[in-house]
Amino acid sequence: MWINGLVAVALVLIDQTFKNYISSNLPLGHVREIIPGLISITNLRNDGAAWSILEGNQSLFLIITLVALGALGYILFLKRDSWSFNVGIWLMIAGTIGNFIDRLRLHYVVDMFQLDFINFPIFNIADMCLTFGVIVLFIAIIRDDSE
């Protein structure tokens, strides 16, 4: 379990480092193509959730984040012997903390990855951790026949 925790810390550090790099080296709103027609990097400030839902409600997001971290910690305790639950929960914790740091420090979340081939919210590494964590957790729940 502690290895998953170390990986989560590393993911938060990578997320914060990349956000800082993008904020410092790419003008706000500027788009730089990485793979034409597939993915671009941009510097976007998002004070809402995906698609800027509930924008400007930082207090609400901070409360939701604290509740989510508490719930994730509780599930982690309950399922401490399940490798797949551990991986999914630690990924979700890493993503939650990565965006939480932005909200506390900047009052918005720095997003940068833009999928050019589909109408999809611009996202960051913390968002990827959350998404993959949910997928792993979903698979773990489906496979868990103990309850």
Which tokens belong to 54?
Answer: 């509930």
What is the radius of gyration, based on Cα positions, of the chain? Answer: 16
Tell the residue number behind the tokens 């309950």, with chain if given. Answer: 78
Question: How open is the CA angle 139-145-147, to the nearest 5 degrees?
Answer: 110
Tokens of residue 23, six digits: 């904020």
Q: How far is residue 112 CA from its own chain's centroid? A: 12
- Which residues are tagged catalytic? 111, 127
Taking residue 128's Cβ as centre, other Cβ atoms within 10 Å add up to 17
